[in-house]
Amino acid sequence: MTGQRLVNVMEELVSGLVRFFLRSPEYQIFCNCNECEMRIVAKALNNLPPHYVVSESEREKVFNELKSPKNIEIINKEIIRAIYEAGNRRNHVV
Ligand SMILES: [Zn+2]
């Protein structure tokens, strides 16, 4: 992170997790194209609190806090819900 810029640590974490979920064997029934992936990330993020930081040290601190088992459980639940909701309305033809 060079200079000051706003980073939503929750967004970074959720993007990575959604990518991971969509590539795991049990989620292959869902589309994992970039468009659907972004839609799922957006949907999950709308149901999770943002965690903005402006420095690398803060970013690491918040990232580690968000990765606690309790937080990950909450975050994963929202991601899985988002995947299923986007999957139900899947009209995306690749
Ligand atoms: Zn798609």
Mean pLDDT calculated for residue range 64-75: 97
Ligand 1 center to residue 48 CA distance, Å?
23
Question: Is 90 exceeded by the pLDDT of residue 94?
Answer: no
Mean pLDDT calculated for residue range 1-5: 67
Ligand 1 center to residue 94 CA distance, Å?
6
Q: What's the one-letter identity of residue 74? A: I
Question: Is 60 exceeded by the pLDDT of residue 1?
Answer: no
State both tokens at 93: 């033809």
Question: Is 70 exceeded by the pLDDT of residue 69?
Answer: yes
pLDDT tens-digit readout, 25-44: 999 888 888 989 999 999 99
Ligand 1 center to residue 7 CA distance, Å?
26
pLDDT of 4: 79
Ligand 1 center to residue 57 CA distance, Å?
36
Ligand 1 center to residue 16 CA distance, Å?
17
Nearest to 32 by CA among 88, 89, 83, 91: 83
